[in-house]
């Protein structure tokens, strides 16, 4: 009889408990599809006595989670602790160095240390799998690495953070400003007590760096991702986007560029005005979606729940099924030695239409100053709207929104440089490209 695949779980939060429940609920189906049973034999977490809704007393317990990597009765270690460094990274290194396969949902660790861990896995002939690290239960890594493997991916972009997407769609539906909707999201459990990684775009950037490496056959380069979050978006921006036939979404985008005959990689996370006719415009609430454009397959859309115990546990167990079947493909689709180190692209070469919002003093000459900067930098203005101040506050700054015609991004950067330090500006301008 085929021996079961024996796993150890490090981390028994919502996802770890979800993995145990999924293996129990769908155990017979999973065994049939994997060709053998998948069994939890050992676990580790900070608190033994916590009620997790599953019975953990039947498993061996290690207070030191790195000890899981040394157990003789374990084939695969599943890391669900999180954090780019510290205990999670120590466990990952020890697991792969010690001859055991590793499954993780830790996007921060893969974004920062993916190359090192992939090299370790490669040198020991082991599996390193992290489907759950990107977009929860959506099989986007498998879709790109296997289903679209015959294609050259030309562009990749998507909504990669459910917290931001929930906040933005709530701002659309209620007309409320960012701060109030964030507090509501925290109360409902959609946002962390410290939401910085989510709302400032870092979480989405971790995922984008992983996707870009897989899609373009390059080394993971999180440090080259240009990151902007959603904390500066106002209800007025949402309303103006709607008037233009768009919605605002936090979008991660990666694409190849050629500069002087050399291959370069553009990676950016930022709020974007998405045309209502575009598939991403319909992605609302805590949903994730990824669009990949292949040279033969065309546009692919992956969409679904991007977080939660069920979807993330589903992705973890899918990786375990792959290992049980003996499917030990390279973590980033290509062997580590074939992944190319590609320099960051110059974003100034990209052609964009952009929405620019200025918060300015309401006095004569301000609009002339802004339009002169646009003219001198070569930015062609498509439309401009000034929002009046409240009648009872003569000192309140006003908002000026400009939409440019399509042109080089370098021209917009130059225009903003001309305005930098101007006493007319109450805060730095907010710039969002238009998509679709």
Whether the pLDDT of residue 390 is over 80: the answer is: no
Whether the pLDDT of residue 299 is over 50: the answer is: yes
Which CATH superfamily does the domain covering 140-305 fall into? Answer: Dihydrodipicolinate Reductase; domain 2 (3.30.360.10)
Whether the pLDDT of residue 30 is over 50: the answer is: yes
Q: Tell me the average pLDDT across 58-77.
A: 96
Place of tokens 């779980």: 9
Residue 395: the pLDDT is 67
The count of C-alpha atoms lying within 13 angstroms of the C-alpha of 301, restricted to the half-sphere facing its C-beta, is: 12
Residue 297: the pLDDT is 94
Whether the pLDDT of residue 392 is over 60: the answer is: no
Range of weakest confidence among 33-37, 50-54, 63-67, 405-409:
50-54
pLDDT, tens digit (0-9, with 9 covering 90-100), for 250-282? 999 999 998 888 999 999 999 999 999 999 999
Residue 389: the pLDDT is 59
5-133 maps to which CATH number?
3.40.50.720
| Residue 152 a catalytic site member | no
Whether the pLDDT of residue 3 is over 80: the answer is: yes
pLDDT bracket for residue 393 (50, 70, 90): low
Contact between 183 and 195 (Cβ < 8 Å): no
Residue 85: the pLDDT is 92
Between CA 197 and CA 84 the distance in angstroms is 12
pLDDT bracket for residue 1 (50, 70, 90): very low
Which residues partner with 218 through β-bridges? Answer: 340
pLDDT, tens digit (0-9, with 9 covering 90-100), for 188-211? 888 888 999 999 999 999 999 999
Contact between 251 and 159 (Cβ < 8 Å): yes
CA 95 to chain centre: 26
Whether the pLDDT of residue 377 is over 50: the answer is: yes
Q: Which two tokens stand for residue 369?
A: 């100053």
Q: Tell me the average pLDDT across 152-177.
A: 95
For the chain, the average pLDDT equals 94
Whether the pLDDT of residue 61 is over 90: the answer is: yes
Whether the pLDDT of residue 22 is over 50: the answer is: yes
List the one residue out of 78, 105, 55 whose CA is nearest residue 7: 78
Name the active-site residue from 107, 129, 207, 276.
207
Share of residues in the chain with pLDDT > 90 (%): 86
Residue 328: the pLDDT is 86
How many C-beta neighbours within 10 Å does residue 44 have? Answer: 25
pLDDT bracket for residue 2 (50, 70, 90): confident
The count of C-alpha atoms lying within 13 angstroms of the C-alpha of 180, restricted to the half-sphere facing its C-beta, is: 9
- DSSP per-residue letters across 14-58: HHHHHHHHHHHHTHHHHHHHHSS-EEEEEEE-S-SS---SS--TT
Which residues lie below 8 Å from residue 432, measured CB to CB, with a gap of 6+?
Answer: 237, 248, 270, 271, 272, 273, 354, 355
Judged by phi (left if over 0) then psi (alpha if -120 to 50, else beta), residue 384 lies in beta
List the one residue out of 422, 418, 415, 343 whose CA is nearest residue 379: 415
Contact between 11 and 80 (Cβ < 8 Å): yes
> What are the structural domain ranges in the chain?
5-133, 140-305, 350-435
List the one residue out of 119, 56, 63, 57 whose CA is nearest residue 93: 119
What sign has the CA pseudo-torsion 189, 194, 197, 200? positive
The highest-level CATH class for domain 350-435 is alpha beta
Share of residues in the chain with pLDDT > 70 (%): 98
Whether the pLDDT of residue 353 is over 90: the answer is: yes
pLDDT bracket for residue 33 (50, 70, 90): very high
pLDDT bracket for residue 391 (50, 70, 90): low
pLDDT, tens digit (0-9, with 9 covering 90-100), for 112-124? 999 999 999 999 9
């Amino acid at each position: 009889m085929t021996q079961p695949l024996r796993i150890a779980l490090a981390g028994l939060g919502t996802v770890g408990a979800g993995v145990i429940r999924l293996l129990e609920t769908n155990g017979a189906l999973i065994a049939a599809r994997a060709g053998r049973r998948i069994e939890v034999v050992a676990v580790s977490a900070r608190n033994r006595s916590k009620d997790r809704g599953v019975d953990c007393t039947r498993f061996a317990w290690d207070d030191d989670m790195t000890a899981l990597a040394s157990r003789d009765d374990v084939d695969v270690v599943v890391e669900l602790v999180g954090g780019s460094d510290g205990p999670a990274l120590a466990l990952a290194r020890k697991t792969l160095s010690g001859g055991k396969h590793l499954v993780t949902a830790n996007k921060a660790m893969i974004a920062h240390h993916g190359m090192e861990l992939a090299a370790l896995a490669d040198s020991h002939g082991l599996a390193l799998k992290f489907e759950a690290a990107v977009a929860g239960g959506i099989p986007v890594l498998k879709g790109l690495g296997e289903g679209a493997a015959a294609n050259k991916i030309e562009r990749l972009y998507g909504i990669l953070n459910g917290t931001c997407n929930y906040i933005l769609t709530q701002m659309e539906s209620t007309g409320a400003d960012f701060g109030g909707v964030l507090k509501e999201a925290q109360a409902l459990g959609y946002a962390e007590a410290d939401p910085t990684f989510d709302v400032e775009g870092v979480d989405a950037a971790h995922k984008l760096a992983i996707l870009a490496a897989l899609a373009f056959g390059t080394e993971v380069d999180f440090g080259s991702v240009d990151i902007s979050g959603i904390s500066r978006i106002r209800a007025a921006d949402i309303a103006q986007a709607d008037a233009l036939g768009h919605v605002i979404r936090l979008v991660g985008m990666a694409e190849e560029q050629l500069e002087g005959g050399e291959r370069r990689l553009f990676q950016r996370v930022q709020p974007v005005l998405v045309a209502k006719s575009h598939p991403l415009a319909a992605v609302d609430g805590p949903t994730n979606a990824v669009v990949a454009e292949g040279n033969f397959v065309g546009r692919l859309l992956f969409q679904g729940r991007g977080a939660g115990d069920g979807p993330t546990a589903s992705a973890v167990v899918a990786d375990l099924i792959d290992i049980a079947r003996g499917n030990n493909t390279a973590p980033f689709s290509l062997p580590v030695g074939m992944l190319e180190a590609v320099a960051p692209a110059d974003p100034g070469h990209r052609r964009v239409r952009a929405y620019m919002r200025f918060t300015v003093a309401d006095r004569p000459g301000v609009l002339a100053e802004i339009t002169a900067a646009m003219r001198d930098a070569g930015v062609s203005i498509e439309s401009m709207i000034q929002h009046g101040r409240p009648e009872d506050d003569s000192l309140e700054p006003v908002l000026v929104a400009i939409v440019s015609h399509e042109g080089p991004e370098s021209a917009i950067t130059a225009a903003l440089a001309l305005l930098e330090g101007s006493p007319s500006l109450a805060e730095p301008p907010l710039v969002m490209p238009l998509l679709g």
